[in-house]
Structure 1
Amino acid sequence: MDIDLPDVLAEVTAQFERYEKALVSNDVAVLDELFHADRRSIRYGVAENLYGHDEIMAFRAARSPVGLGRSTARTVITTYGRDTAVASTLFYREQLAGKVGRQMQTWIRFPEGWRIVAAHVSIIADPGAPKT
């Protein structure tokens, strides 16, 4: 199996960046587009377990657009063959002082393009934060 083919890695990276931009700007249409429109798509969030595209879309539609800005670090995108990828990143928000968010996404290439089929978001105490 070919891992990290340059053209495939560039494609997934562009979609990951598109997702990130949509996330912080609350572009719900793009966020909905980038999750695979299927009942088997899953998003485990910080405080929610979403099963299927309909639940994911409903969550996005109801989510407050306030405080979505964030920075990311240690992003790793790995592609497997031409049609599968995993994207992982840490994220930081000003209102989450002393904590770090973790996000993982499984991306699959479909005829309509790259889509997320599974995602997991969690927040933990930042192991790199100064101890008080």
Structure 2
Amino acid sequence: MDINLPEVVAEVLAAFVEYERALVANDIETMNALFWDAPETVRYGIAEIQHGGEVIRQWRETCAPVPPSRTLHQTVVTTFGRDFATVSTQFTSDATPLIGRQMQSWARLGPAGGFTIVAAHVSLIPEP
């Protein structure tokens, strides 16, 4: 299996950057488009659990937006072949002294063969 093919890493990174832009802008339509719309999709948030694309979309309609001061640190993109990847990142903001951690699994399932988030986990911890 090919790990971290440069063109696939670039494709996943571009999708991740678009998701992050949408997250900070509270662009719910784009965030929803980048999550797989399937019952198998899972998102574990800081204080919530969502199973299924429909539940994730419903949650997004009522959740508080992330702070505009959100800043990413140590983002790592790892691709496996041409159709699966993980993106791990840490984040900080002026809303909390805690360190955020975010992991996403991406698969090539999206429109026109693009990457889509199939699982995500977000958590906060005290600074180590």
TM over 0.5, yes or no?
yes
Contact 1:23 1:68 in 2 (8 A): no
- Asked if 1:13 corresponds to 2:13, the answer is yes
Segments of structure 1 that go 5 or more residues without pairing to the other structure are 128-132
Aligned equivalent of 1:130: none
Q: Percent identity of the aligned residues?
A: 47
Letter in 1 for 2:6: P
CA distance 1:116–1:35, change in 2 (3 Å): same
CA–CA separation in structure 2 for the residues paired with 1:121 and 1:64: 15
Aligned equivalent of 1:126: 127
Question: Post-superposition shift, 1:33?
Answer: 0.3
TM-score, with structure 2 as normaliser? 0.95
Question: Post-superposition shift, 1:68?
Answer: 4.6
Moved over 3 A (4+): none
Segments of structure 2 that go 5 or more residues without pairing to the other structure are none
Aligned equivalent of 2:32: 32
Aligned equivalent of 2:115: 114
CA–CA separation in structure 1 for the residues paired with 2:30 and 2:49: 20
TM-score, with structure 1 as normaliser? 0.92
Figure out how many residues of one structure are paired with residues of the other and give that number.
126
Deviation sequence 1:20-60 (CA, Å, 0-9, x none): 00000000000000000101100000000000001100111
